[in-house]
Every structure is written in structure tokens, then in C-alpha cells.
Structure 1
Amino acid sequence: MRPLRLSTAALSAAALLLTAASTTASAHGHDTTTHTPGTEFADGFETPVVPPPAPFTTHPGGQTAGPWAVGGHSVDVSSDRLWDAAEGSQSLDLNGTTSGSVSQQIPTHPLISYVVSFELAGNPAWAPALKTGELRVDGVPVKTFSFDVTGRGFRNMGYVRQTAVFTSPLKNSVTLTFASTSPGPGGPVIDDVRIRSCLLVLCPHVA
């Protein structure tokens, strides 16, 4: 494998971004060690715990599900007593009785890009077979996603890793939202949400 070689311009751009980010953070009294490139956020929907023997817990819009604010109609936090999680023992169905969403304010660093990744499957118990949704940053869609549950089951969920990249504007947080665009009581299922930061010139290509 040939070693990665960055041009002088790319290295200069990276240095400028680091300098700008550090200056902005200092001006706002922020600890620059918390949001430097490589920092991760992770959430596998392990809280709140679904009380046994219940297979899932429905959270209506306007309430919370752990650190997430629920929007739309409702969402279900689902235990592995119902179906397999991608990570840990719980996952999130973005459709409770019908389509819902979850949002959380995420600390960001100005002029830094962020890679969001998550596991995607779908509730195989309900039509339609194609589950669809959106990942939004401050209300703006940055990725649409879909999952076909044909041939899938509770012990064969078929999770697929999804990724998206967004760049933080000149502020210190954004609102990250996962929203279903599917009707009915069974929607996209997400799990193992992770966010890591990267410099614009060093971010991986994301289709």
C-alpha cells in the first residue's frame, strides 16, 4: 500500500482549521481537549432499561427516551427479548404507534467535521417492507436511509452500518435527529450511534 501523502496546501488548511478551532474554543471558555479530532460520542439506547418481562417500552412525542427527546408520534425502545440488538441489549424502533423521531443536542467544535455512524435495520413484524427515515442536523436532512425487511426476522435483523458527514457551523452544538418517514407501527430500527470528529481535509469519503 502506498503511504498517504498530503499536499502542502492540505496540510496548511489542516493547520488553519486547528488554529481557528482552538482560538474559538478559548474565546468561549471551552476545554479544547473535549472536541478535538477523534473525540467520540456513543449511544446504544441502553437507557432507559425496558423492565422485564416487557419486550419494549413506548415513549410518546414530547417525552424523553434516555438522553433523547422524542418527537413525532412515538418511538419504541426495544429489548433483545423482542429482537436482537446490534450492540448491547436494546435498540430503538423509530415508529411506536406510528412514525416518530429522537433528537439530542450534541456538543461540536466550530469548523470541524463530524462522522455519524449507526446500525440500521427494520421492524419485520409490520408493513411496509421498506422502512425509511432521515438523519437531520439542526432540522436539515444530511442523509436519507432505507432498509428492506423482506426475509428478515427477530433473530435475523440484518443490521447494516450507515454513515454520514456534517460540518459544524460557527457554534458549539447542533441538534442531531433520527426521524422515521415510514407509516404504521413498525419503522426503521437504529442502534449503536457513534460520532467522531475529523478535519475537513482528512474526513473519509462517505457515499
Structure 2
Amino acid sequence: MLPLRLSAASLSAAALLLAAASTTAVAHPNDARTHDTKTHTTVPDIAGGGFETPVVPAPSPFTTYLGEQAVGPWTAGGHSVDLTSDRLWDAAEGSQSLDLNGSMSGSVSQEISTHPLTSYVVSFQLAGNPAWAPALKTGELRVDGVPVKTFAFDITGHGFRNMGWTRQTAVFTNLLKNSVTLTFAGTSPGVGGPVIDDVRVQSCLLVLCPPVS
């Protein structure tokens, strides 16, 4: 067997990468920008990103899930969330989306597999429940409970058939863990909060991941 030979420069670069991180999952400083998806691969076990299951039974416009209940592959947290059919408002894709505030602010979480020294791009469509004040709907994306992105949507000028969906992007880096938990949480008060749909997760090697631009 031939001996493994690593250059001093390679070893130094790896040491700097490990030493620079204080947590296992850290936010990318430029997480609000777009990225080149050609260099990324979709994580195979992210499930239910379109919130199409379970199906909201007709003729109901939505189904409310309380904290700790399963919403397909997601788990509800906080007070409650509303899985909403396009009988009430248009989804970004498919026929269902998720209001992160049911009667009060709630959340959904899902554990995904990760690889060491890998960065992950999380993107999702964002709008807001147009039926309730306040106009500004706010929320957070968390990785293992640590906020990596705060987001907000102003419902002014939007309605059930004009939701104004916008694509949001965040990047975090995993150093050592084999899995992390993604959480989308509403932080607006009261009924009706930010609405999410079409959640996607992509990955790239930490040392090869192109800058977000």
C-alpha cells in the first residue's frame, strides 16, 4: 500500500476550516443572495417540501395541526400551523402550502441527513396569510434550533389569488454531524403568519462550494 501524502498547505487549510467554526451548523454571511445550482446536488431524503401530504379534505380550506402533531414528514411545533389548500389561496407550486401561524405562531421541523464539511443551500417560496393583521409576517429558519435566516413578507397589495410568492435562500455549513433538524417557525403574533411552500435543500463540498452571489 502506498503511503498517503498530504501537502503542508492542504493540512493547514483543513485545520483552519475546523478551527474557524464555533458551531456545527453556521449561517453563510451572504445567505440572502442567489446561487449557481449547477454545482449543487439535491439532498435525497428531504421530504414533503411542497406540503402536498396529507391532503386537506374537501371542502375544507385548511387543516390545523397543533404542536407535536405530524404534518406528513414534518412535525408541528409551537402552538399550531395550518396546512392550506388552494381552495383558499394559490400555492407556489402544487395545490397546498403551509401557514406557520394557525391560531398562534407555530413551526414545522424535519431531520435531514448531512455529511461532514459540507455546505447546504436551503431555499423556499415565501408569502403571507392575507386575511389577518399585522401586514408584516415574520419567521425564522433554524438549524438544530439555531437561527440561520430571518424572513419577512408584507401582505400589502396581495390577496388570495395574488399571493406574491418570492424565493428565499439561506446557506449553512455542517462540520461533523450526520444529520440536522431544519425548522421553519412563525414569529408574528396572532392568527395568520408567513406562508411557505416548495422547500428545497441542496449541498456542495465546503472546500469547493462556490460563493453565493
Range class of TM-score, shorter chain:
0.7 to 0.9
* Alignment counterpart, residue 71 of structure 1, candidates 77, 102, 109: 77
In the alignment, what sits opposite 2:51?
45
For 2:165 and 2:155, the matched residues in 1 are separated by: 10
Cα offset, 1:201, TM superposition: 4.0
In the alignment, what sits opposite 1:198?
204
Residue type at the aligned position of 2:164: G
1:60–1:73: 8 Å Cα contact kept in structure 2? Answer: yes
For 2:209 and 2:188, the matched residues in 1 are separated by: 31
1:88-135, CA deviations, whole angstroms, 9 ceiling, x for partnerless residues?
000000000010000010111111110000000000000000000000
- The alpha-carbon distance between structure 1 residues 201 and 111, as it changes in their structure 2 partners (threshold 3 A), is closer
1:162 paired to 2:162:
no
Cα offset, 1:205, TM superposition: 4.1
Return the TM-score normalized by structure 2: 0.78
In the alignment, what sits opposite 1:123?
129
For 1:68 and 1:121, the matched residues in 2 are separated by: 19
1:43-92, CA deviations, whole angstroms, 9 ceiling, x for partnerless residues?
10001100011000000011111111111000000000000000100000
1:163–1:206: 8 Å Cα contact kept in structure 2? Answer: no
In the alignment, what sits opposite 2:3?
none
Greater shift in the superposed pair: 140-149 or 194-203: 194-203
1:98–1:184: 8 Å Cα contact kept in structure 2? Answer: yes
Identity %: 80
Residue type at the aligned position of 2:121: V
Equivalent pairs, count: 177
For 2:153 and 2:210, the matched residues in 1 are separated by: 23
List aligned pairs for 1:13-24, cutoff 5 A: none
Return the TM-score normalized by structure 1: 0.80
* Alignment counterpart, residue 182 of structure 1, candidates 183, 188, 194: 188
| SS of equivalent residue, structure 1 residue 48 | coil
- The gaps in structure 2 that reach 5 residues or longer are 1-8, 18-39
1:84 paired to 2:90:
yes
- The alpha-carbon distance between structure 1 residues 205 and 120, as it changes in their structure 2 partners (threshold 3 A), is farther
Cα offset, 1:200, TM superposition: 2.3
- The gaps in structure 1 that reach 5 residues or longer are 1-8, 18-36
Greater helix percent: which structure? 1
